[in-house]
Structure 1
Amino acid sequence: MSIGESQLEGDRDPGDEPEVGPSRGWRHTLRRVRRDATARWGMYVVAFVLLITLYTAVDSNLSRLTLGMVSDYAFAEALPIFDHPTQIPPPGEGSPHEPPAFHASGSLEYPLGTDGAGRDYFTRVVYGAQVSVTVGIVSTGLALIGGTIVGSVAGFYGGRIDDALMRAVETLYAIPPLILIIVFTEFASAGQADIQYAIAGIGLAFIPVFARIIRSEVLSVREMDYIEAARAAGVKDRTVIRRHVVPNSFAPVLVYATLQIGVMILLVAGLSFLGYGAQPPTPDWGQMLSDSHDEMHGNVWLSIWPGLAIMITIMGFNLFGDGLQDALDPRLDD
């Protein structure tokens, strides 16, 4: 700043300065998301799906605590429409392959029809959100945590540490994710596929993606003056990374994680379709698609409802992620 400019600054009345309020924070971000119509609808879809997921998770775990078994759901007594989704009716009492209610031979008792075992398909679709959405969120969280640790350490220290970590990340990144997940699940489960191994495998396969994103952000943030000031003041490196580097590099990673949840849900459905995800009789959208494969021509609704649930959920997360990206972009500030 020149001398003339400094004199003008000194002569300026402080009262003439415009009042600047806080423009960041989760409330500001949420307000900007709600201004965008598509992002707002995406947020509503995500909130609805998460509410259904929370309800089914509480219901199933409550029945374990109160009833000591998983053969009945506690809320089913209060809401009869939510009958137990894994219960197989006794012989002669079920209605296998009953069509949906809008079909000529359907009934309102089973609004989306029944499967081959006579189980209410509406209930199974609703409870399928518990597995599909939970696995998508948890696996994304594992990949996000692992990628943030690797990427922030590699970008902050650089040198040999950066080379060693990023070469390992690139080696993992070179393996197709689906192959890596299946191989990991097969070896970790000793041939007994279960959803928990699929979660770990998905999280491991996507660590490199998050590591590369966070590293690129840390490389620019670590050169900032406040980082140099903190290190000069004797603040430990791990504290600098935790309090300053990661929070100021996290916005693009958070946006990508939101978009990635939809990809994870689709991947979980594919794994369940191949037999590496949730196992019967647990309701899962991918498993339901797999079960309906052989009966697709005669009972097409068995494939329509779980496929539609997957499509709507992924669309909601994608729309919300796009809106969140715009809300966190400082170039679009009002």
Structure 2
Amino acid sequence: MAVGESQLESGTESDEGVEARVGWRYTLARIADDTTARWGLYIVAVVLLVALYAFVDSNLSRLTLGAVSDYTFANAIPIFDHPTRIPDPGEGRANVPPAFHPEGTLEYPLGTDRNGRDYFTRIVYGTQVSVMVGLISTVLGLVGGTIIGAVAGYYGGAIDDVLMRAIETLYSIPPLILVIVFTVFVGGANIWYAVLGVGLAFVPVFARIIRSQVLSVREMDYIEAARAAGVRDRHIILRHVVPNSFAPVLVYATLQIGVTILIVAGLSFLGYGAQPPTPDWGQMLNTSHGYMHSNIWLSIWPGLAIVITIMGFNLFGDGLQDALDPRIDD
């Protein structure tokens, strides 16, 4: 075989090998091969499906324009009960232990709360609040931080100094304190104020990450070529700078969802998040801590739900980081 043909074939094989190691298909394959990421994905998928079910059932009146009442599925499925309705006197049993307890019953698999409401139902419907708040707050922080960090890193100079000094000032305040002050300032205890507050609290983190990436990406040859071709800065940032700086931000966002769920649960525990009778894991911990001696399971179940959900997002985030890191070989 001629030398030219040999070099051509080796070059082709090299190109195919490089092409096979980039793109979303390669990333998905890396995630599928990672046991940690796979188990994290399983947990996240189950949690999201449960949250979707709870969201649809609790908003049936809005989704069907009043044709179907809320919690229709809960009233139709034997293992569920209405998650917010307090049973009439003599109808329900308060502080019933779980089914495996000698005093428990299969009618209430996880027992009942102090008002006689089925705890399993409230744990299931509490998934909606925790996941919704975690996702929305993380997206708000991600979008705000990406905009600020990309602008600061791309332009540099005085713009960078002003934006990053403001971000560092915000970053110096503990997130929980910042969210509590924000919710009190804008109108008091409300789950949506908590969502906005948590999103605001995590803008500095995402801004710092995206800025550090943009500082290196903006010096690349293709960015210089785009500037020389007269492409507007806005298009360069949106089409070239941000997409090529987004991988570490995406990984951190996945990990941050779990942190956000924990913070919002803490807010609800302190009375600044979801308000009764809305089922929420943090609020359930708040109302159950007074029954630690008589019925410790009222605290164990919502705590376990929080731990499993956060663990799922963290496992998936770790696996996603390995899949997106080009320095880690197969």
Question: How many Å separate the matches in 1 of 2:256 and 2:216?
Answer: 24
Q: 2-side partners of 1:82 and 1:106: how far apart?
A: 17
Conserved in 2, the CA contact under 8 Å of 1:60 and 1:70?
no
The C-alpha deviation readout for 1:252-304, integer Å capped at 9, x for no partner, is 00001111111101001100000000000000000000000111110101000
Report whether the alignment pairs 1:323 with 2:319.
yes
CA drift of 1:9 comes to 8.7
The 8 Å contact of residues 259 and 318 in structure 1, kept in 2 or not, is answered as yes
Query: Which residue among 233, 236, 247 is the counterpart of 2:232?
Result: 236
Provide the rounded CA distance (Å) in 1 between the counterparts of 2:67 and 2:84: 13
Scaled by the length of structure 2, the TM-score of the pair is: 0.94
Contact 1:71 1:84 (8 Å CA) reproduced: no
Q: Is the 8 A contact 2:59 2:70 kept in 1?
A: no
Is the aligned partner of 1:91 residue 2:89? yes
Q: Give the secondary-structure state (helix, strand or coil) at the position aligned to 2:177.
A: helix
For 2:147 and 2:136, the matched residues in 1 are separated by: 17
Determine the structure 2 residue equivalent to 1:53.
51
- Number of the residue aligned with 2:114: 116
Give the AA of the match of 2:119.
Y
Amino acid at match of 1:55: Y
Q: Secondary structure at the match of 2:45?
A: helix
Distance 1:213 1:87 in 2: 45
Distance 1:64 1:84, change over 3 A: farther
Query: Match for 1:285: what amino acid?
Result: W
Displacement of 1:251: 0.3
Q: Aligned-pair distance for 1:14?
A: 2.3
**Residues of 1 paired with 2:90 and 2:122: CA distance?**
21
Query: SS where residue 49 of structure 1 aligns?
Result: helix
Contact 2:60–2:70 (Cα < 8 Å) also in 1: no
- Cα distance, 1:36 vs. partner? 1.4
Amino acid of the structure 2 residue aligned with 1:289: L
Q: Which amino acid aligns with 1:15?
A: E
Cα offset, 1:129, TM superposition:
0.6
Aligned to 1:288: 284
1:67–1:11 CA distance, 2 compared to 1 (3 A): closer
Shift in Å, 1:205: 0.9
Amino acid at match of 1:148: T
Question: Contact 1:140 / 1:260 at 8 angstroms: preserved in 2?
Answer: yes
Does 2:182 align with 1:203? Answer: no
- Preserved contact between residue 39 and residue 320 of structure 1 (Cα < 8 Å): yes
The CA distance in 2 between the partners of 1:75 and 1:218, in whole Å, is 48
- Counterpart CA distance in 1 for 2:155 and 2:76 is 57
Q: Partners in 2 of 1:260 and 1:317 — Cα distance? A: 8
Gaps of 5+ in 2: none
Matches within 5 A, 1:1-334: 12-17=6-11, 18=13, 19-20=16-17, 21-66=19-64, 68=66, 72-189=70-187, 191=188, 193-334=189-330
Which amino acid letter does the alignment assign opposite residue 208 of structure 2?
A: R
Report the secondary structure of 1:331's partner residue. coil
1 CA distance for matches of 2:69 and 2:201? 35
Q: Tell me by how many angstroms 1:332 deviates.
A: 1.6
CA positional deviation for 1:26? 2.6
- Rate the CA distance shift 1:269–1:214 in 2: closer, same or farther, 3 A: same
Q: Measure how far apart 1:68 and its partner are.
A: 3.7
CA distance in 1, matches of 2:299, 2:250: 33
What amino acid is the match of 2:165?
Answer: R
* Percentage of identical aligned residues: 74
Contact 1:101 1:110 in 2 (8 A): yes
Distance 1:70 1:102, change over 3 A: farther
Structure 1 runs (4+) greater than 4 angstroms displaced: 8-13, 69-72
SS of the residue corresponding to residue 330 of structure 1 reads: coil
| 296-305 vs 31-40, which moves further | 31-40
* Structure 1: stretches of 5+ with no match in the other structure: 1-7
Tell me how far apart the structure 2 counterparts of residues 70 and 27 of structure 1 sit (CA, whole Å). Answer: 42
Distance 1:283 1:236 in 2: 49
Other structure's SS at 2:276 match: coil
8 Å contact kept, 1:72–1:84: no
